[in-house]
Chains A and B, each alone.
Chain A
Amino acid sequence: MLIRPETMGDTWRPRPDGPAKVTGSLPYLTDLVFPNMLIGKVLRSAYPHAELESIDTDEAKRLPGVHAILTHEDVPRMNRFGIVMPDQPVFCEDRVRFVGDAICAVAADTAEIATQALRLVKVVYRPLPVVTNPEAALTEDAPRLHPNGNVLHRAGYRRGKAQDAMADCSVIVEETYETPRQMHAYLETEGGVVVPEEDGSITVYMGTQHGYRDRQQLARILAMPEHAIRIVSSPMGGSFGGKDELNVQPYAALLALATGRPVKIHQTRAESVRSALKRHPMQIHMRTGADANGHILAHQVSIVADTGAYATLGPAVLDFAVEHATGPYRIPNLEIEGVSVFTNNGVSGEFRGFGGNQVTFAVEGQVERLAAKLGIDPWEMRRRNLRHAEDLGPLGQRIAPTDGAAQVLEAIRRSPVWPAQTGAAGPVGVGSGADVGSGSGATGEGLPLGLPWKRRGVGMALAMHGSGLGFGRPDPAGGRLSLMPNGKVEVAFGFEEVGQGLLAVIEQLATSELGCAPEDLCIRIGDTAVVPVSGSTTASRATNVVYQAIRRMKPSWQAEMVAAAARLTGLPAERLRLGPGGVWDSERMGADRPVLSYRSLAQQRSQHLPTAEAHFSFPTTPDAVTGGHYLYTFGAVVAQVEVDLLTGSIEVRRLDQAIAAGPVIHPMGYAGQIEGGGSMALGFTLMEDVPMTEGFYEVGNFDSYLIPTIADVPRTVDVDAIEQLLPGDPFGPRGVGEIGTVAVAPAIAAAVHNACGYVAHRLPISPKEIVQSWGDGTAGIGHL
């Protein structure tokens, strides 16, 4: 089903928080102001790797307007944080490992005073040799960044005998792929306010993707019981994984406790670039062999991830990359190994796609190269190797049966620019004949002006993407449904609205499942004081959890509501059902109002209002495969590009995606995730990277770190949502937060190849390499 406003009927409606966001009237947590509030700032390391000899804050403390300056000596309990293994210092004691490491933090009357105070802090460093890349980190004589050395994590998977099977292959392709250090580039930088409450507790108004986990981590640092910490974490101006880990919460909390006053920290963009997580740059070596019919027989993969200075979710990202390194293909002989390595390059961590984007660029690149070598159509090549509905998962684990791979492959063929639709021929290389003046391109859309230096091409790619945290990782889920005394139906989840459209999903599911109207609802999220445990707002899991929870809570809650209404109205319970505004008599549905409004029900009942809770775990594979997933979504992308041979610049004219993720809950939100994900991935493919030199960032802000603007994204994006699940599938809608980002890079790379013959193995694709890929770089004027 193509998601188009015209065909969606009345489900095509804006999200509840849409108007306030678009008009700018919605207050974010970083907009909050409290009486007596101080401003906090954090001093970050001047060096990427150094010993800390001394920290002298005396002079800074004396600056008028300064209320507190804290160092590691002021951390009450554990001076560390990190979701998987807490190895990152809140404040460094004796050593810094990246330029974002925190030395001290100040609270002052104004941001200017805080900044000036930090200038007055005297820190003596003894610079150490910098570990600039993973290869260097793995050598014998590399400085050891952590007690156990520089290897954060190793992961791998084997099946059959890949090395031996290579001998049976007619073609083998071998390539090393490199992917960039992408920045999340959320519009709202990290921050918010921490307020000390009268009872000794604190309230943390700061964005995160898992309020309860922040609470747990903060409790360890602050030596406070978890219940004395309240986390208010919605709404947020974007996260994309970047605010999953703690960022400035500990500093604001410590400063608020030290001063007894609310403390606000809101990082500037430059501070954010310096301290925040990035996507893992990966170097991925693949050697893949196929028989003459195009069946892939063997696949050898070696992944090296630059995880930067600290762990955060680095181990899980590597596990995910290993798991997804085979794509949605049946490959009998596999040898995959990966290593995630500490360096002094920032900190890499969780980022939309979670390692899948990197390996998908590589594995799809291999499929393209094999197809080209064998002279097999790229679509057909994929069809021949595609997994079947009942196949085991990529790590040999049992998964929820799914036909998604075949569904998206079939659907993406219908993209109007795919050659199956246009009847156009295969690749047109630049060297291919004198007629380079074919501005009309391979796919016949035609340029208004036939510019001889422009070439069009199309390319495709597939992806398979697991949701949930994976086997062996606690993945609790749940929700709560209750009638409130004011007659509103409270739907509560421990999730955060990070821009993904969660409120619309909850509203849509609650109204369609329960029968009530949007106005009847009171949606509660992002506040540990009032929401149940639902797990993290990550891993494309929230939509599915909301669906499952509401389905679980609905029968008992509805029954309780109806029974209460039956007692109050005297009507038999069988005749009553929930509807907009209240409980309706099913024999008089034409009436202009319910027989009992929710408000009257609540008022007359006054005590023991109907409530239901759900507690369950996100579906996981029954097989003990660490990190192995159970629910998967699939995506297929067709990209059409126009390459300018004069400059090597690439214009993406079209980015169509077919997605198999179960039923569409909120069409506008679904399309938004896929289109937005596509744009984010377009940036990953064509322009985004944070280069580092000797551990220092080469970019400091959005004037040099470039993300796509509206002028870079294609005018036309078709999103084809395949809703059909296999018969009997009980799991409902899967999330689509990540899948739209995963297969975009390889599709664009294939399209560039198709347009001009240049084969990219490194992202972002270099225009310079495109131009220089034909001798002297003058292909663009070759027609003269």
Chain B
Amino acid sequence: MTTENPLGNSPYVWRPHTVEEAWAIKQRFGEDACYVAGGTLLQLQWEGGAGKPRHLISLEGIQTLTQIRKSADEEGLVLDIGALCKLGTCKAHPLVVRNWPLLAAACGAVGSPAVRNRATLGGNVANGHGDTLTALLALDGELLWFDENSRTSITTAPVHSMVVSADMDEDIGQSADMDEDIGQSADMNGDSFGRSADTAGPPSPSRLLMGVRLRRESNAAMSGLRHISIFRKLGRRAAFVPSLVTVAASCVQRMDENAGSGQKNTVHATQIDHVRLVVGAIDFAPRRLTAAERLLEGAVPSPDLWHRLHANIMADLNPPDHAFASADYRRLTAANVLVAQLAEACSGFVKEGIQC
């Protein structure tokens, strides 16, 4: 993406109909070509002075990439969302809204309605610092890549492979000691979307994101459990804003059989599991707070637990300073929001669903 013709000659736009074709064009031109989906981020980057490539490979004509497909096995529900799905579509899709409200909320937090009508989920993920990554990380999402250079053409990779360096332990939740600064390779002063520097991108420059896969346990497996999810994006105004801090959390909580008579929607504090806590922002790639997750895993909510969680996050999170928010403010608000909203959700006011 280096050539720029000052006199404004537009790039050549390719319109392949299959992923194979798209991939082959990219192989052919390498650095001189770039995939374009909705083009919203690219446009912003060009506006900010980035050079235009000679060749644009539009993915819009690849029908298979626009679909949302549901399948089910004994483990539960599987949803494949095509990379070309518009964020607006995703946000409102009944299956997403019902089963992965966290992702619906994250899609709804990107830009404005006009941006969401063009911008794609794939473009948001592939650029390495989109708002949906924070949610997908908390949902243990997987990415489906097309890469003919790889053994199987289509590979799956966990979402965190987008945001941590490639040589990291595959399963982040298991790795004991993580470098504090993982995933924070960032443009320290970045504020606008277009200005953000490269974060850890896909390993093969040609590979093409086909979609995102989400799983949800079967109803049988979930009996007696409820999902809790939290998503909140903080910016300098209520909407259409670069994120100063985005938090996403997901966990399951056992429902107390004896509780609830008389008090509607209320359960007693009971053990929480499968905890995922994620913090990201416009200028730092989302990361899981693994130490805090371990603290909550299997624990029963109590005031003491929440205060320890707060202290843990404060000690663990090191966001960079930002032109409009200092590091300490970002750390504090991330900790406050995660703790308060989790505590609220786990205390049973909200039976199931999402807090934004």
Residues on A lying within 8 angstroms of B by beta carbon are 110, 112-113, 115-116, 119, 449, 451-453, 645-649, 651, 686-687, 691, 698, 701, 703-704, 706, 708-709, 711-712, 767-768, 771-772, 777-778, 780-781, 784
What are 20 pairs between A and B in contact, CB < 8 Å?
A112-B6, A452-B344, A645-B336, A646-B337, A647-B234, A647-B333, A649-B234, A687-B236, A691-B323, A701-B192, A704-B192, A704-B242, A704-B323, A704-B324, A706-B235, A706-B241, A709-B238, A709-B240, A711-B238, A777-B336
Is A708 touching B333 in the complex (CB atoms < 8 A)? no
B192 near A703 (CB under 8 angstroms)? yes
- Which residues of chain B from 258 to 288 have any CB-CB distance to chain A below 8 Å in the complex? none
Task: Assess the A698–B323 pair: CB atoms within 8 A.
Answer: yes
User: Which A residues lie within 8 Å of B235 (CB)?
Assistant: 706
CB distance from B334 to the nearest CB of A (A): 10
Residue of B nearest to A112 (CB): B8
A712 contacts across to B, CB distance below 8 A? 237-239
A110/B340 in contact, CB under 8 A: no
Q: How far is the CA of A701 from the CA of B47 in the complex (A)?
A: 10
Q: In the complex, are the beta carbons of B339 and A784 less than 8 A apart?
A: yes
A219 nearest CB across to chain B (Å): 37
Q: Could you tell me if A115 and B337 are in contact, using CB atoms closer than 8 angstroms?
A: no
Could you tell me if A771 and B344 are in contact, using CB atoms closer than 8 angstroms?
no
**Given known contacts A646-B333, A704-B192, A778-B310, is B239 in contact with A709 (CB within 8 Å)?**
yes
Q: Hey, which chain B residues are within 8 Å of A645, CB to CB?
A: 336
Interface string of B226-239 (1 = CB under 8 A from A): 00000000111111
Q: What is the chain B residue whose CB lies nearest that of A777?
A: B332
Q: Is the CB of A784 within 8 A of B303?
A: yes
Contacts of B316 in A (CB 8 A): none
* Closest Cβ–Cβ distance, residue B11 to chain A (whole Å): 14
The smallest beta-carbon distance between A270 and chain B, in angstroms, is 9
Q: How far is the CB of A55 from chain B (nearest CB, A)?
A: 21
Residue of A nearest to B307 (CB): A784
A692 to B234, CA, bound (A): 24
Given A703-B193, A709-B237, A709-B239, A647 contacting B336 (CB threshold 8 A):
yes
Q: Which of B216-260 contact A (CB under 8 A)?
A: 234-242
Segment 306-329 of B: residues with Cβ below 8 Å from A: 306-307, 310, 323-326, 329
Per the bound structure, the CA–CA distance linking A778 and B334 in Å amounts to 11
Given A112-B8, A709-B237: A704 in contact with B191 (beta carbons within 8 A): yes
Q: Chain A's nearest CB lies how many Å from the CB of B302?
A: 9
Residues of chain A contacted by B141 (CB below 8 angstroms): none
The 6 A-B pairs with the shortest beta carbon distances in the complex, nearest first, are A703-B192, A711-B239, A112-B8, A711-B238, A646-B336, A768-B329
A626 CB to closest chain B CB (Å) equals: 40
> Which B residues are in CB contact (< 8 Å) with A777?
332, 336
Given contacts A646-B337, A784-B306, contact A703 B325 (CB under 8 A): no
**B323 neighbours in A (Cβ, 8 Å):** 691, 698, 704
Q: Does B182 contact A (CB under 8 A)?
A: no
Q: How far is the CA of A452 from the CA of B325 in the complex (A)?
A: 24
Interface status of B194 (Cβ within 8 A of chain A): yes
| B349 touches A (CB below 8 Å) | yes
Q: Does B343 contact A (CB under 8 A)?
A: yes
Q: How far is the CA of A778 from the CA of B338 in the complex (A)?
A: 12
CB of A744 to closest CB in B, whole Å: 16
* Chain A residues within an 8 Å CB radius of B333: 646-648, 771
Given contact pairs A706-B235, A772-B329, A784-B340, a sample of 11 additional A-B residue pairs in the complex whose CB atoms are under 8 Å apart: A112-B8, A449-B349, A451-B344, A453-B340, A645-B336, A647-B234, A647-B333, A704-B191, A709-B237, A711-B238, A781-B343
CA A768 – CA B321 in complex, angstroms?
13
Within 8 A of A (CB), among B1-24: 6-8
| Chain A nearest Cβ from B331, distance in angstroms | 10
On whether the beta carbons of A781 and B329 are closer than 8 Å, the reply is no
Chain B contacts of A646 at CB under 8 A? Answer: 333, 336-337, 340
Residues on B with beta carbons closer than 8 Å to the beta carbon of A691: 323
Q: Is the CB of B336 within 8 A of A706?
A: no
Q: Let me know if B234 and A771 touch, CB within 8 A.
A: no
Check B6 against A778 for contact (C-beta < 8 Å).
no
Query: How many whole Å from B295's CB to the nearest CB in chain A?
Result: 15
By a CB distance below 8 angstroms, the chain B residues around A771 are 329, 332-333, 336
What's the Cα separation between A777 and B340 when bound, in Å? 13
